[in-house]
Amino acid sequence: MKAVCVTESRALEVREVPTPANPPSGHILVAIKACGINHGDKTFLARPLSTIGLNTSLHDIWGASAAGKVLSLGQDVPAEFAGKSVALYRSLTPSLHTVGLWSERALVPWTSCVILPDGVSLQEYSGSLVNVITAYAFLEEMAAEGHKGVVVTAGNSATGLAMAALTRNKDIPAIFLVRSGKSREELRGLGVEHVLATSAEGFETEFPKLAEKLQTTAVFDGVGGELINRIAPHLPMNSTISFYGFLAGTAPMSVPSAVFMMKNLVMKRFSNFNSATVKDVKRLAEALTYIQGVIADPLFRTKIGETFRLEQIQEAMAYESTPGAKAILVTNPA
């Protein structure tokens, strides 16, 4: 079968690799229909050290996200998975048997996927599960640390939208930060209640008032850089800033030590596959069951930019579109 594989020089190429069959216990065989190219796929390719701890794949097949149809089940896999459409996120469960997602057939543990509702577009869920599980695991960690509300910096990103759906479903106070008034209106149109545009006049006045009112002491940050410099002095006391992404690239942060002391701030990284939710088998199964029950929410859908065949992987990786829209690799069109 065809698969997109990573070379020793950290390039991607399409190869012919053995087609998996007869999944072992706890695994499923999936006919892959579509693969969403997430920001992390490009980051991990460019920064080898950032892949430490990630689940690997036989044949060096690349990619973290996909959607497809279950072809067969190994022993000890819940029978409800038979023949179902699933969204997959490869990093959820390590396995020596994993055959990765950017391919015509994938073989993964069943706890690396969630069953989708009948009749949904698989392309629209081909990049979704990584965003949903990241948001879910963060909210679990946030609650365990005693936080009641959250500030989401990349409010109109795919993970931001997943966070909007989950906080609404769980009735958790949340503030979503976006760059422009246009993005603010788009989120408001999707039913998101508290959205602030960082470019708006008076942002530094409005944000601390709302953050104090809602007690949003957990910051879920996918941006970094100058935005953290701006909001850190205005956060409620005892806030924790958790970094899960870096859309600002190499832009530095510069928060005075006095702000840390006065606000009692904490800064740390957040990694979904190193979270308590994902690392604990029972908690992961509970998370996937919960997600299966809410995954039909339109906010969880992958925003499709342009589609590419596996053979067009270089064009797909170079594709840039409007914020949030993703390149989609398609295979098995029948």
Asked whether 169 and 294 are in contact (CB, 8 A), the reply is yes
Instruction: Compute the distance between CA of residue 181 and CA of residue 198 in angstroms, rounded to an integer.
Output: 9
pLDDT for 285 beyond 80: yes
- Which of 138, 94, 116, 71 has its CA nearest to residue 279? 94
Instruction: Compute the distance between CA of residue 236 and CA of residue 239 in angstroms, rounded to an integer.
Output: 6
Same domain, 195 and 172: yes
* CATH number of the CATH domain containing 251: 3.40.50.720
Counted domains in the chain: 2
Does 145 map to a domain?
yes
Same domain, 169 and 251: yes
Provide the pLDDT for residue 85. Answer: 98
- State whether residue 60 is helix, strand or coil: coil
Same domain, 107 and 139: no
Provide the pLDDT for residue 91. Answer: 87
Same domain, 141 and 111: no
Does 282 map to a domain?
no
> What global pTM score does this model have?
0.93
Half-sphere exposure of 103 (CA within 13 A, CB side): 30
Average pLDDT in the chain = 93
Same domain, 124 and 153: no
* Torsion, Cα of 57, 59, 65, 68 (10° steps): -110
- Which of 292, 287, 231, 295 has its CA nearest to residue 263? 231
Same domain, 208 and 139: yes
- Domain residue limits at 47: 2-128+301-330
Does 209 map to a domain?
yes
Provide the pLDDT for residue 51. Answer: 47
* CATH number of the CATH domain containing 81: 3.90.180.10
Does 283 map to a domain?
no
Calculate the alpha carbon distances from 176 to 118, 139, 156, 193, 220 in Å. Answer: 31, 15, 8, 9, 10
Same domain, 187 and 260: yes
Same domain, 308 and 204: no
Same domain, 55 and 74: yes
Does 55 map to a domain?
yes
Does 288 map to a domain?
no
pLDDT for 114 beyond 90: yes
Same domain, 141 and 266: yes
- Mean pLDDT (whole number) for 173-186: 96
Instruction: Compute the distance between CA of residue 3 and CA of residue 19 in angstroms, rounded to an integer.
Output: 10
Instruction: Compute the distance between CA of residue 100 and CA of residue 6 in angstroms, rounded to an integer.
Output: 11
Share of the chain above pLDDT 70, in %: 95
Instruction: Compute the distance between CA of residue 215 and CA of residue 218 in angstroms, rounded to an integer.
Output: 9
Does 192 map to a domain?
yes
- Of the three residues 228, 255, 274, the one that is the final residue of a domain is 274
Give per-residue pLDDT as tens, 250-270: 889 899 999 999 999 999 999
- Which of 58, 54, 55, 56 has its CA nearest to residue 17? 58
- Of the three residues 274, 293, 313, the one that is the final residue of a domain is 274
pLDDT for 82 beyond 50: yes
Same domain, 190 and 248: yes
Does 286 map to a domain?
no
Same domain, 185 and 268: yes
Q: How many CB atoms lie within 10 A of CB 58?
A: 16
